[in-house]
């Protein structure tokens, strides 16, 4: 009973930590700021994100995960250690058991890297669960039943679609399109159309404030500031929701194509279940306006966003860790 348990949604954009009994205790950006001179970690999470695009040459603020997998092992380990320590408080007698959610399309080498980094960061045991399974558990979908449930987890680095039945994934695909790709598309669009260079954070703000997957009947607009590409001087422009919808069209088409691929690979009996129950959307990017309507229009299958879509994966890891026996078929590797 003394062993603490922690569920971690190790995302490209944000890391969420769920402690059974306490719920989500951490929801911070997956960003680490490192001093190049002293080779030490200066800040992690919210504090480090504030530094993106604003650091001198001696400090680098970066995201150690790319497309849901570890791109920088040492930095990921430091970030995990910070989040584990923050979730559990200072001194403790026992090392915790940690369950980490990873993309379904992850290779065995990438999975091993996650397990090793988690153990090195202070875990007694590391369990791995696929994100679509964790998202389904967190969205209160009865994944153990003998009927098909489709979940789409739209994250920061990847979007994953899976049809789940009897606790396992029957058909799935993963595309490296997520919130970050949408931000980059917005940055490129403002540069191309308005000759204005804007940063990652501005693009993300615009996406959240006025972005929509479908053109809105009542247009929204907001002012953004950036650097004029011609004069090199700061400039302010007004951008509309139509601009944002146009900017992200190509990326959204990639997501739609992946959803259709999964539906095409789903056995007929389970496809019938999916039509009955609809498609559930989870993950931060599912909160983009009209995302559910776009998927419903494109596939002809009802789609709706889960409650607390952003927290589904983290909640699912916590629930699975509390009920290891019930979900042991759905959990990948232990160490």
Is 30 marked as a binding-site residue? no
pLDDT digits (tens, 9 = 90+) for 161-212: 999 998 888 999 989 899 999 999 999 999 999 999 998 889 999 999 999 9
Q: What's the farthest any 2 CA atoms get from each other in the chain?
A: 64
Q: Is 206 annotated as a binding-site member?
A: yes
Specify the CATH architecture of the domain 179-247: Alpha-Beta Complex (3.90)
The SS3 assignment for 229 reads coil
The beta strands (E) that lie in 190-330 are given as 196-197, 221-228, 234-240, 279-282, 303-305
Give dist(CA 289, CA 105) in Å, integer: 27
13 annotated as a binding-site residue: yes
Give 228-287 pLDDT, tens digit per residue: 999 999 999 999 999 999 999 999 999 999 999 999 999 999 999 999 999 999 998 999
> 135 to each of 9, 117, 188, 206, how far by Cα in Å?
10, 22, 31, 26
Angle in degrees, CA 41, 45, 49, rounded to 5? 95
Domain ranges of the chain: 5-133+313-334, 145-177+249-307, 179-247
Q: Is 35 annotated as ligand-binding?
A: no
> Is pLDDT of 295 > 50?
yes
Write out the two tokens for 117. 């980094």
Mean pLDDT of 111-121: 89
- The answer to whether 225 and 235 are in contact (CB under 8 A) is yes
Q: Is 131 annotated as a binding residue?
A: no
Residue listed under structure tokens 């944000």: 14
How confident is the prediction for the chain on average, in pLDDT?
A: 88
pLDDT in tens, 5-41: 899 998 888 889 998 888 888 898 888 888 888 888 8
Specify whether domain 145-177+249-307 bears CATH 3.30.360.10. no
The predicted structure's pLDDT at residue 236: 94
Gap between the Cα atoms of 324 and 311, Å rounded? 20
Q: What mean pLDDT comes out for the span 132-146?
A: 90
> Is 284 marked as a binding-site residue?
yes
Give the pLDDT band of residue 334 (cuts 50, 70, 90).
Answer: very low
- Helix, strand or coil for residue 201? helix
Sign of the C-alpha dihedral, residues 131, 134, 139, 140?
Answer: positive
Angle, vertex CA 10, rays to CA 16 and CA 146, nearest 5: 90
Query: What pLDDT is stored for residue 91 in this prediction?
Result: 62
207 is in an annotated binding site: yes
Confirm whether residue 298 is marked as ligand binding. Answer: no
330 belongs to an annotated ligand binding site? no
CATH architecture of 5-133+313-334: 2-Layer Sandwich (3.30)
- Residue 2 has a pLDDT of 60
**pTM for this structure?**
0.87
| Residue 205 labelled as part of a binding site | yes
Question: Is the pLDDT reported for residue 335 higher than 60?
Answer: no
DSSP 8-state secondary structure symbol assigned to residue 110: H
The reply to whether 145-177+249-307 shares the fold of 5-133+313-334 is yes
**pLDDT score recorded for residue 223:** 94
């Amino acid at each position: 009973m003394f062993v603490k348990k922690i569920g971690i949604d190790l995302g490209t954009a944000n890391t969420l930590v769920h402690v059974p009994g306490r719920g989500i205790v951490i929801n911070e950006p997956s960003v680490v700021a490192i001093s190049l001179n002293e080779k030490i970690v200066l800040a992690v999470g919210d504090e480090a994100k504030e530094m993106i695009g604003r650091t001198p040459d001696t400090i680098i603020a970066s995201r150690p995960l790319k497309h849901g997998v570890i791109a920088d092992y040492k930095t990921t380990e430091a970030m995990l250690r910070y989040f584990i320590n923050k979730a559990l408080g200072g001194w403790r007698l026992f090392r915790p058991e940690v369950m980490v959610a990873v993309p379904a399309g992850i290779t065995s080498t990438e999975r091993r890297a996650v397990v090793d980094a988690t153990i090195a960061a202070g875990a007694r045991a590391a369990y791995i669960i696929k994100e679509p399974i964790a998202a389904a558990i967190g969205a209160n979908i009865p994944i153990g039943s003998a009927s098909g449930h489709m979940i789409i987890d739209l994250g920061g680095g990847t979007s994953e679609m899976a049809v789940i039945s009897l606790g396992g994934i029957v058909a799935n695909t993963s595309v490296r399109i997520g919130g970050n790709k949408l931000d980059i598309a917005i940055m490129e669009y403002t540069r191309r159309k308005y000759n204005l260079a804007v940063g990652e954070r501005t693009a993300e703000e615009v996406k959240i404030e006025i972005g929509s997957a479908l053109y809105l009947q009542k247009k929204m607009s907001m002012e953004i500031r950036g650097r004029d590409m011609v004069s090199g001087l700061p400039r302010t422009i007004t951008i509309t929701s139509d601009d944002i919808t146009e900017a992200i069209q190509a990326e959204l088409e990639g997501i739609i194509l992946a959803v259709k691929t999964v539906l095409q690979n789903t056995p007929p009996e389970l496809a019938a279940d999916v039509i009955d129950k609809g498609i559930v959307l989870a993950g931060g990017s599912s909160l983009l306006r009209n995302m559910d309507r776009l998927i419903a229009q494109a596939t002809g299958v009802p789609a709706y966003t889960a409650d607390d879509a952003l927290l589904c994966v983290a909640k699912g890891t916590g629930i699975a860790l509390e009920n290891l026996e019930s979900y042991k078929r759905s959990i990948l590797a232990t160490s």
